[in-house]
């Protein structure tokens, strides 16, 4: 029985961890699906969202949870601007151009953050009291962040599945030429997809600031996990990204618990390699699905 509860705890911790990856990876995957651009700067949107939440809370005395209501629209607009001014230029260009561009944006944002915010860790102490769940005790913020992630994931899924903008995004990723023949302005679709991805990454940043801490390099570290998740789930597949994220989260949690923290750090990539050996296209296809 104890053994069983322990497994439950390891899985739950994995799911909690995976939710953060899911928020990041779903946006990354959507952007890739719609414009075939791998966005190396996606993690920096998480970092900026986290810092914005931290300063809204520490300087503006905004309730940590409410910061998400400010961070997401701000990151949405920031995403629109970055897409229109920079990323749009490399759509349809050789993959090296887009890699260099987004990698460059990533480095610039990270260094600006270091310059203005220093390399200090900034965490928001909030809902730290423990709560019992299925025989183990978790900080309340862990459960809270899982809940918020779940709500956002559900909203994204419904957006893609049921709204006309969501359908336009999926159509564009499956066949941009036919989407144009439907009267869709695919440039606007690319801008909106990128902005939605940035907003989700910003939300992940808020959750990171509440559940642990943010610092300038957090984006470049966590993005590697998100890449593993995206490739695992199938480039462009949102459903795949969500599943892949939870799978990686659980694998990481199990690796840390049963083996060692170091193993936990690399387990995402081990799982990735194993899955790709069996299914080279990832768990799902290579289009924006929901």
Partner 1 sequence: MTEDSAILQLRNVTGGYGKKQVLFGVSLVVRRGELVAIIGPNGAGKSTVFKVAMGYLQPWEGLVFLNGQGVRSLPTHERVARRMGYVPQGRVVFPDMTVDEHLDVGAWLVKSREARRRAKEYVFQIFPRLAERRGQKAGTMSGGERQMLSMGRALMAQPTIILLDEPSLGLSPKLVDEVFQHIETINRAGVAVLMVEQNAAKALRHAHRAYVIDMGKNHLEGSGKQLLDDPEVRRSYLGG
Per rule CB under 8 A, is residue 96 in the interface with partner 1? no
Q: What are the phi and psi torsion angles at 92 (to 5°)?
A: 80, -5
CA distance 83 to 192: 9
- Partnered with residue 131 across adjacent β-strands are 138
Q: Which of 81, 112, 178, 259 binds partner 1 (CB under 8 A)?
A: 178
Q: Which of 136, 167, 212, 265 binds partner 1 (CB under 8 A)?
A: 167
Q: C-alpha distances in angstroms, 213 versus 32, 44, 75, 130, 242?
A: 28, 14, 19, 18, 23
Q: Tell me how far, at minimum, the Cβ of 171 lies from partner 1, in Å.
A: 5
| Residue number, 205 or 234, with CB nearest to partner 1 | 234
**270-289 mask for partner 1 (x: CB under 8 A)?**
---------------x-x-x
Kindly indicate which of the ranges 9-17, 171-179, 222-230, 261-269 contains the residues binding partner 1, using the contact rule CB under 8 A.
Answer: 171-179
CA distance 114 to 239: 34
Angle 285-78-69 (CA atoms, 0-180°, nearest 5)? 90
**109-148 mask for partner 1 (x: CB under 8 A)?**
----------------------------------------
Q: Tell me how far, at minimum, the Cβ of 262 lies from partner 1, in Å.
A: 39
Indicate if the alpha-carbon torsion angle 29, 35, 39, 44 is positive or negative. Answer: negative
Per rule CB under 8 A, is residue 262 in the interface with partner 1? no
Kindly indicate which of the ranges 4-12, 164-172, 197-205, 270-278 contains the residues binding partner 1, using the contact rule CB under 8 A.
Answer: 164-172
Q: Which of 56, 124, 184, 267 binds partner 1 (CB under 8 A)?
A: 184
Per rule CB under 8 A, is residue 36 in the interface with partner 1? no
CA distance 159 to 174: 17
Per rule CB under 8 A, is residue 35 in the interface with partner 1? no
Q: Which of 12, 56, 75, 186 binds partner 1 (CB under 8 A)?
A: 186
Q: C-alpha distances in angstroms, 189 versus 12, 74, 88, 206, 275?
A: 36, 19, 11, 26, 31
Residue 201 and residue 27 in contact, taking contact as beta carbons nearer than 8 Å: yes
Q: Which of 179, 195, 230, 235 binds partner 1 (CB under 8 A)?
A: 179
Scan for tokens 């005395």, then name that residue: 61
| Residue number, 189 or 201, with CB nearest to partner 1 | 189
> Quick one: which H or E segment has residue 138?
strand 136-139
Per rule CB under 8 A, is residue 157 in the interface with partner 1? no
Q: Which of 73, 111, 158, 185 binds partner 1 (CB under 8 A)?
A: 185
| Residue number, 20 or 186, with CB nearest to partner 1 | 186
- The DSSP-derived string for 197-245 is HHHHHHHHHHHHHHHS-B-TTHHHHHHHHHHHHHHHH-TTBHHHHHHHH
Torsion of the alpha carbons at 173, 248, 124 and 146, rounded to the nearest 10: 80
Question: Which residues would be at the binding site for partner 1 (CB under 8 A)?
Answer: 164, 167-168, 170-171, 174-175, 177-186, 285, 287, 289
């Amino acid at each position: 029985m104890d053994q069983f509860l322990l497994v439950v705890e390891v899985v739950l911790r994995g799911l909690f961890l995976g939710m953060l990856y899911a928020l990041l990876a779903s946006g990354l995957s959507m952007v890739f699906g719609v414009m075939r651009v791998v966005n190396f700067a996606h993690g920096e949107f998480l970092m900026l969202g986290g810092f914005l939440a931290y300063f809204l809370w520490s300087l503006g005395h905004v309730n940590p949870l409410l910061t998400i209501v400010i961070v997401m629209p701000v990151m949405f607009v920031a995403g629109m601007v970055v897409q229109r001014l920079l990323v749009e230029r490399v759509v349809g260009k050789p993959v090296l151009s887009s890699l260099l561009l987004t990698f460059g944006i990533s480095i610039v944002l990270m260094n600006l953050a270091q310059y203005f915010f220093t390399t200090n860790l900034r965490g928001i102490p909030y809902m730290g009291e423990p709560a019992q769940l299925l025989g183990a005790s978790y900080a309340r913020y862990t459960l809270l962040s899982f809940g918020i992630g779940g709500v956002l994931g559900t909203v994204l899924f419904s957006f893609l599945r049921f709204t006309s903008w969501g359908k336009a995004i999926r159509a564009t990723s499956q066949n941009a030429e036919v989407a144009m023949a439907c009267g869709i302005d695919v440039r606007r679709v690319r801008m909106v997809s990128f902005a939605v991805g940035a907003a989700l990454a910003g939300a992940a940043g808020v959750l990171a600031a509440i559940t642990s801490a943010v610092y300038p390099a957090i984006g470049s570290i966590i993005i590697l996990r998100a890449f593993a998740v995206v490739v695992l789930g199938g480039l462009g597949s949102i459903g795949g990204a969500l599943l892949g994220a939870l799978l990686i989260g659980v694998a990481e949690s199990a690796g840390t618990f049963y083996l060692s923290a170091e193993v936990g750090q690399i387990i995402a990539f081990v799982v990735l390699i194993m899955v790709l050996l069996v299914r080279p296209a990832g768990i799902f296809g290579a289009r924006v699905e929901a």
